[in-house]
Amino acid sequence: MNEKDTIAIVKQALDDEISSLIHFRDELDPSVKDCIDLILKSKGKVIVTGVGKSGDIAKKISHTLSSTGTSAYFLHPTDASHGDSGIVGPEDVVLAIGKSGESEELNYILPTLRKIGAKIVGITANPKSKLASLSDIVIITPVLKEACPLDLAPTSSTTIALVLGDAIAVALMELKNFQANDFALYHPAGRLGKRLSLYLSDVMRKGERNASIPVDANLETILKEITEKGIGATGVVDSQSKLIGLITDYDIRKYLTKNTLLPTVTAKDMMNANPSSFRPEEKAYDVLIKMEGRERPISVAPVVDEKGQFVGMISLHDLLQKGL
């Protein structure tokens, strides 16, 4: 078999799945709206269940719902038959997925879940199936053809179920007015979550880690503070701890190349009296972009509060270490 034949097979499989998806969209079962309305009105959670490949899809749907503001759990039918049905409450909505709708393991647990009080939404391609008869709401997912050349292995059918789950999650997001900050709350460790939820106050060096010297500090004090704090700079403050300048390694070298080093030299003589600074309530990612986006990028900057108090120092290195 040559490369052209392989590519043709792949394209045919994609075409088969795409055709089934388009058909599903064009013939979308209006019961989808009933399902979404039911979930919106529910005071409980969403339980997603299925067997085999449908079970794998159910897991993904439950994760997507949970991460987008709808509390959801995956429940394996076999586990449910041996005690895990206790996770289901009377206010819950169950999404039961099965192409044929005749899976014994899945259908076996549905009467129990209904007795608990949960509402059942069956997602199946077979409107005459037992799953459909056991459901309060049925969403029919017709499949033109499985991408499998034998029309046996779940391919187009699982893709449709997956896309339907995504669409339900997206609809719920919009109807609940789920915003980017809400998304960040559920994804604190992810890059997007960090960009949305991490503030400068969470990253900056503060307290004993913050490099700070008085305006009359001599060169020895300046060098000692910069070296000990390891950030390559120090803030210069007045008697009220307000920031009045910044000294970096560059500022020291610049001063020494143009001036004679006298015993009387102080921080005031070397400092940059107008440094770029940031506020602790700014998003860390926004600060990273500002520091890197300048015509001459800066690697370190002071952080001041609304009263001008010097409260911390931030470096590009610290921001990048956070995975922003």
Judgement on whether residues 101 and 218 belong to the same structural domain of the protein: no
CA distance 110 to 120: 8
Judgement on whether residues 222 and 161 belong to the same structural domain of the protein: no
Judgement on whether residues 19 and 155 belong to the same structural domain of the protein: yes
For the purposes of burial, counting CB atoms within 10 Å of the CB of 107, is it exposed (0-12), middle (13-18) or buried (19 or more)? buried
Judgement on whether residues 89 and 221 belong to the same structural domain of the protein: no
Judgement on whether residues 134 and 217 belong to the same structural domain of the protein: no
Residue 189's pLDDT is what? 59
Q: Which residues are annotated as a binding site for Zn(2+)?
A: 76
Longest dimension (CA), the chain: 95
Residue 2's pLDDT is what? 60
Residue 190's pLDDT is what? 62
Look at residue 191 and tell me if it is in a domain. Answer: no
Q: Which residues are annotated as a binding site?
A: 76
CA distance 235 to 233: 7
**Do 199 and 84 meet the contact criterion of CB atoms below 8 Å apart?**
no
Beta bridge partners of 139: 123
Judgement on whether residues 135 and 250 belong to the same structural domain of the protein: no
pLDDT in single tens digits along all 324 residues of the chain:
566 688 889 999 999 999 999 999 999 999 999 999 999 999 999 999 999 999 999 999 999 999 888 999 999 999 999 989 999 999 999 999 999 999 999 999 999 999 999 999 999 999 999 999 999 999 999 998 999 888 788 999 999 999 999 999 999 999 998 876 667 666 665 666 666 678 899 999 999 999 999 999 999 999 999 999 999 999 999 999 999 999 998 899 988 888 887 878 999 999 999 999 999 999 888 899 998 888 888 899 999 999 999 999 999 888 888 776
Judgement on whether residues 165 and 210 belong to the same structural domain of the protein: no
Question: What is the residue range of 314's domain?
Answer: 200-321
Look at residue 294 and tell me if it is in a domain. Answer: yes
Judgement on whether residues 218 and 256 belong to the same structural domain of the protein: yes
Judgement on whether residues 43 and 163 belong to the same structural domain of the protein: yes
Judgement on whether residues 41 and 102 belong to the same structural domain of the protein: yes
Residue 83 gets the label, from left (phi > 0), alpha (psi -120 to 50) or beta, of: left
**Do 64 and 183 meet the contact criterion of CB atoms below 8 Å apart?**
no
